[in-house]
Structures are given as C-alpha cells and as structure tokens.
Amino acid sequence: MREIAGHWPGRIFLLVLALSIIIMGVLVAAGFTEMQVLLFGWMTMPLVLGSAFVIIWLIAYLIYFFKFWPYR
C-alpha cells in the first residue's frame, strides 16, 4: 500500500475506493435499501447496491493494477 499511496494514480485509486464506501454508507443512511423496489423483478436494493459497489472496485482495480501499479 505504501507503493500505492506514493504516487498520484495510486492516490486517485485509493480515493475512488474510499469514496465508493462513503457513498454506499450515505445511500444506506438515506434509506436506499429500505425501498421495496425489485430490479428485473427480483433484485432487491441491498443486492443492487452491493453489486454496484463491487463493480466500481473491479473497474478501479483493473485500471490501476494493470496500468499503474509499480510492481506490475
């Protein structure tokens, strides 16, 4: 992690990950997961929110680890 925090792409990567956690917390606090809405007729909001969170981490990881990670 020291190598990641040591350069700008890494700091942006960490910022994206941290922001995704904060935004998820804000959405939970705002009652997003309390909505009884079913995406595609069966996906509950906790599943939708969590899947979106994992996808954001996945995209950020792919970009950073394959283009910028110093040990790649």
Binders of another protein in range 32-61 (CB under 8 A): 33-36, 38, 40-42, 44-47, 50-51, 53-55, 57-58, 61
- Between CA 15 and CA 38 the distance in angstroms is 31
Beta bridge partners of residue 32, listed in sequence order: none
The 8-class DSSP code of residue 34 comes to G
Least distance in angstroms from the C-beta of 49 to another protein: 8
The H helix count followed by the E strand count for the chain is 3, 0
> Which residues contact another protein (rule: CB under 8 A)?
1-4, 17, 21, 24-25, 28-29, 31, 33-36, 38, 40-42, 44-47, 50-51, 53-55, 57-58, 61-62, 65-66, 69-72
